[in-house]
Chains A and B, each alone.
Chain A
Amino acid sequence: MTPKRLILPLALACLVVGLFCVSVAVGYAPLDIGAAFDDLLSGRPSLSALVLAELRLPRAILGAAVGFSLGITGAALQGLMRNPLADPGVVGVSGAAALGAVIAFYFGFSSTFAMALPIGRLAGAAAATAVLLILAARGAGTVVLILAGVALSSLAGALTALALNLAPSPYAALELVFWLMGSLSDRSMVHVALALPFMTIGWALVLGTGSALDALTLGEEAAESLGFPLRRVRLRVIAGTAAAVGASVAVAGAIGFVGLVVPHLMRPLVGHRPGRLLLASGLAGAALTLGADIVVRLIPTRPELKLGVVTALIGAPFFLFLLIRLKGMER
């Protein structure tokens, strides 16, 4: 990588660090960050240390990690499918994860132990991933994988609707709906510990496919002739996306549009080479998610606006604007 190409990732990394600090500083409870860090590091069990360790830090870490996951997998899927409309949601893991949460909720696991919901989501995402990986390992083409993702999403959506339909009380249905919206509030270090290993594996899998995604610019046959075995590339991208996005959805719920929009934001800056977009999109996704999560806390509404609602509210119109502006550029 030439020094010129390092500038943007470095600038984005600085932005992420900056937003991370702001995210730690912003919250409902007034907090003396310096004192809180002192207490935390010296092991004094003060209230401010508790707020920092149990509320602010996990929220900021998850914001960055979830955003990075969505950005990098969005860029990877767009590269793999050679389609600027691909989004981490298309592989169906988000829908399946939501269904897993609904099942955990419905059968009352969530009232017996606190981590039942994230674990249920993870199980749902894992089940969807297994189906996709079996298909990919059998040599299914990219179109088949997209359609399988659509089918999984629809099935999960139908089953989720069924659960809502049969919910014992309107209150239970409402609570379910609330759970389905993405949010980073009230997450603990346990959530971080649950999600981060899967995310890291996912990032590593996806980052390793950069050159193969570049080669795919020329189509599948030419990429294969350049020494990139497509079956393995598909497997890596799908497995990486499922791991990173599955873990994201498990701890934060569905956060729409970040994965779709971020690569579009980065293309004017780093160009259209899919491999070069990966890291930049990951960092920009982290910045965007941290930023949106800060905005959510600054808007004085009660109950707090859900992060997933805000990203979709900003993301969808912005995406339309991009489409109008870029009309005719994509071929």
Chain B
Amino acid sequence: MSLAAQSVTVTRDKTMLVRDVSLAVSPGTFLALLGPNGAGKTSLLRVLAGLEDPASGQVSYAGRTRSQIGRRAFGRSVAYLPQDGRVHWPLPVEEVVALGRLPHGGALVDAAVRRAMDAAEVTHLAKRSAGTLSGGERARVLLARALAVEAPILLADEPSATLDPLHQIEVMTLLRETARRGAVVVAVIHDLPAAARFCDRVALMKDGSLIAEGAPRQVLDEKRVAETFSVDVVRFEHAGESVVLPWSRHGSANSRQEASKHER
């Protein structure tokens, strides 16, 4: 199921949060929404998830709008993983993950739930109470919950922000694999190196507008990153892949030194 936003604008209390963004993501693609805080990434993601109606423009899913798809079917088609997810009642982990099956008719611990727990590596926590999980464990359990929907479109808001390096890599790999299996995966990500490494495409946003969109190597050049994030990056090749590392505030002495070192 492809995902397309056409001229989407989001306003709240007369402030324009997203300006005229058009974006098309085809199945099998892992797209990162990048941009500094307040760029409108989460607002755009919420509109894509159908949680908010755009002030103008529209979002289509395989050519159909949310109302054409219908509420229940939409719940099965688009899975959404919110930022700082909480589990409000201390349910056992497997029951939390099983909530992802609700759009399919009931929250039973079925094969899809077990697949999702395996994929997110939380099977060993299945019987644990969600109230006893660490922040990282909870993030993975909630990711498993979103995976359990087995939706053709997965939208995740900072899915790896609270994880340790190992689990960041694991979660990014998992999201890439989910895309490889034919899903559209769109995630808000703050970690530039991770986005550059794992995503097929990145969309760069600033002040609500889409600045650039395409393969990470093309989009994340020094000049554009400096303009968008006000940071200077260090770029180098490692194992045949391009690494983009934010290094210092744009234009600071430190970054000039670094840049000149690289020049030499």
Contacts and interface: CB of A to CB of B under 8 A. Distances in A.
A225 interface: yes
Contacts, number: 81
A272 B90 contact: yes
Contacts of B89: 82, 217, 272-274
B88 A217 contact: yes
A329 B90 contact: yes
B80 A222 contact: yes
> Looking at chain A, what size class is its interface with the partner chain?
20 to 34
A221 interface: yes
Interface in A206-264: 211, 214-219, 221-222, 224-229
B145 A218 contact: yes
Interface string B44-76: 001001110000000000000000000110111
Interface stretch (B98-106, B165-173, B177-185): B98-106
Nearest to A227: B75
Contacts of A227: 71-72, 74-76, 102-103
A219 B84 CA distance: 10
B107 interface: yes
Contacts of A82: 88-89
Given A211-B107, A218-B142, A272 B82 contact: no
Nearest to B105: A211
B155 to A, nearest CB: 8
Interface string A314-331: 000000000000000111
A219 B75 contact: no
B80 A225 contact: yes
B85 interface: yes
Contacts of B187: none
A294 B35 CA distance: 66
A329 B82 CA distance: 24
A326 to B, nearest CB: 10
B51 A218 contact: no
A82 B99 CA distance: 16
A222 B87 CA distance: 11
B79 interface: yes
Interface in B12-50: 46, 49-50
A217 B78 contact: no
A271 interface: yes
A222 B85 contact: yes
Contacts of B251: none
Contacts of A218: 85-88, 96, 99, 142, 145
Contacts of B142: 218
B102 to A, nearest CB: 5
A135 B72 CA distance: 26
A164 to B, nearest CB: 40
A329 B85 CA distance: 19
Interface of B: 46, 49-51, 71-72, 74-76, 78-82, 85-92, 95-96, 99-100, 102-103, 106-107, 131, 142, 145, 149
Q: 6 nearest interchain CB pairs?
A: A227-B75, A225-B80, A272-B89, A82-B88, A221-B82, A227-B103
20 contacts: A82-B89, A211-B102, A216-B88, A217-B87, A217-B88, A218-B86, A218-B99, A218-B145, A219-B85, A225-B51, A225-B78, A226-B99, A226-B102, A227-B76, A227-B102, A271-B95, A272-B90, A273-B95, A273-B107, A331-B90
